[in-house]
Amino acid sequence: MFIDEAIIRVKAGDGGNGCVAFRREKFVPRGGPSGGDGGKGGDVIMESSERHNTLVHFRFNPEHKAQRGRHGEGSNKTGREAEDVVLKVPVGTILYDNETGERVHDFSCPDETIIIARGGRGGRGNARFATSTHQAPRECEPGRPGEERAYRLELKLLADVALVGFPNVGKSTLISRISAARPKIADYPFTTLQPNLGVVAVGEEPDVKSFVVADVPGLIEGAHTGAGLGTQFLRHIERTRLLVHLVDVSDGSGRPDPVKDVEVIMGELASFGAGLEQKPMIMAASKIDVANKDKLANLKRYCKKHGLDLFPISAVTGKGIDDLKYVMAEKVEEVRLSVPTLADTPQQGI
């Protein structure tokens, strides 16, 4: 099972202090007490969102604090309440108390909100302590401290992007280049026997976009009828939002015609029968550090003719990888927003 995890510390805002003050007006001797109450400290709130797909943003930023409430003031002015801090998590996130291990909440739908650290109440000002026998109280309360807690977040990952292609085209090498996944890489077909998932983060804080990539075992002609590793992994592709189709254009690929390769893979996707061939797809010409110029040119021509975006990459030298990552992030976001119902499917690790 593929799990994304993060530990966070949160501190809600303290309440503002109550104030001691007395009315001082020209013709009102002994004006009564007028110290206002402190404002409430901000809560820390957690909200599930369809726009988030991983917990990567908490790894950059594990501590979150809400502001304290303003102190009370004279003339019975209550201090202003502090703003709440809202932390967004993907649907499917499970929240645990990090100290006790207790499961606190399971975010199973979008837009669920819970308070995970409660802001402190403001202290009362001296005006609140006046009674008929105690007309000039000098007491007030300090604000209550905001709650401070540590949580562990857990999310079963669902792949957004699947890397597809023949065996040995460099899928595992690519995922190891763009994420922390470290699958086995070797110069023979069917190195990868199980899908590997990796979390890819693109951009700088606070605009980090993240998505999950699956490195799927290689496909070959007849995969839909069970050849090679068969349909087992095509089923995983079914749940992704975007396919990145790798085509080996190197001299030593052992296959003479990259266009034929593309057609075979497209045929397999179509034959599987779940609309896989209609998924948004980005083409990547792999191993361009050792490219055969004719193969690359043929593939470019084919992609142009069929309106497919082609990114020449080398997972070994890093050439073209950043561009590909950004386009993947953009496309995932685009599809995520246009097909919100995808998020309603149960979160299952693949």
Ligand X SMILES: Nc1nc2c(ncn2[C@@H]2O[C@H](COP(=O)(O)OP(=O)(O)OP(=O)(O)O)[C@@H](O)[C@H]2O)c(=O)[nH]1
Positions in the binding site for ligand X (CB under 6 A):
167-173, 185-187, 189-192, 217-218, 286-287, 289-290, 314-316
Least gap, CB of 251 to ligand X (angstroms): 10
Q: Which residue's CB is nearer to ligand X, number 42 or number 165?
A: 165
Partner from ligand X, Mg ion, none binding residue 76, C-beta < 5-8 Å depending on class: none
Partner from ligand X, Mg ion, none binding residue 169, C-beta < 5-8 Å depending on class: ligand X
Token digits of residue 167: 């065996």
Residue 84 CA to residue 69 CA, distance in Å, equals 11
In the range 62-121, which residues lie near Mg ion by CB under 5 A? Answer: none
Q: Which residue's CB is nearer to Mg ion, number 124 or number 171?
A: 171
**Site for Mg ion contains 250 (CB under 5 A):** no
Please tell me whether residue 322 adopts helix, strand or coil conformation. helix
Partner from Mg ion, ligand X, none binding residue 186, C-beta < 5-8 Å depending on class: ligand X
Q: Which residue's CB is nearer to Mg ion, number 186 or number 297?
A: 186
Contact residues for 108 (Cβ-Cβ < 8 A; gap 6+):
91, 92
Residue selected from 192, 253, 286, 314 as contacting Mg ion according to rule CB under 5 A? 192
Partner from ligand X, Mg ion, none binding residue 289, C-beta < 5-8 Å depending on class: ligand X
Radius of gyration of the CA atoms of the chain, in A: 29
Least gap, CB of 187 to Mg ion (angstroms): 11
Residue selected from 191, 232, 271, 347 as contacting Mg ion according to rule CB under 5 A? 191
Per the DSSP assignment, residues forming a β-bridge with 163 are 215, 244
Nearest CA to 178 out of 196, 193, 165 is that of 196
Q: Which residue's CB is nearer to ligand X, number 119 or number 170?
A: 170
**Site for Mg ion contains 189 (CB under 5 A):** no
Contact residues for 291 (Cβ-Cβ < 8 A; gap 6+):
249, 250, 251, 285, 312
Residue 20 CA to residue 170 CA, distance in Å, equals 72
Partner from Mg ion, ligand X, none binding residue 190, C-beta < 5-8 Å depending on class: ligand X
Partner from ligand X, Mg ion, none binding residue 290, C-beta < 5-8 Å depending on class: ligand X
Token digits of residue 213: 């990539």
102: burial class by Cβ within 10 Å (0-12, 13-18, 19+)?
Answer: exposed
Q: Which residue's CB is nearer to ligand X, number 78 or number 168?
A: 168
Residue 171 CA to residue 192 CA, distance in Å, equals 9
Q: Residue 29 has what DSSP assignment? A: T
Residue 278 CA to residue 270 CA, distance in Å, equals 8
Partner from Mg ion, ligand X, none binding residue 287, C-beta < 5-8 Å depending on class: ligand X
232: burial class by Cβ within 10 Å (0-12, 13-18, 19+)?
Answer: middle
Biggest alpha carbon–alpha carbon distance for the chain: 101
Please check whether residue 140 is in contact with residue 18, taking contact to mean a CB–CB distance below 8 angstroms: yes
In the range 125-184, which residues lie near Mg ion by CB under 5 A? Answer: 172
CA of 125: how far to CAs of 43, 55, 74, in Å? 22, 42, 9
Least gap, CB of 329 to ligand X (angstroms): 21
Q: Which stretch in 187-195, 246-254, 264-272, 338-346 sits in contact with Mg ion by CB under 5 A? A: 187-195
Q: Which residue's CB is nearer to Mg ion, number 144 or number 287?
A: 287
Partner from ligand X, Mg ion, none binding residue 70, C-beta < 5-8 Å depending on class: none
Least gap, CB of 201 to ligand X (angstroms): 21
Which stretches of the chain bind Mg ion, using CB under 5 A? Answer: 172, 191-192
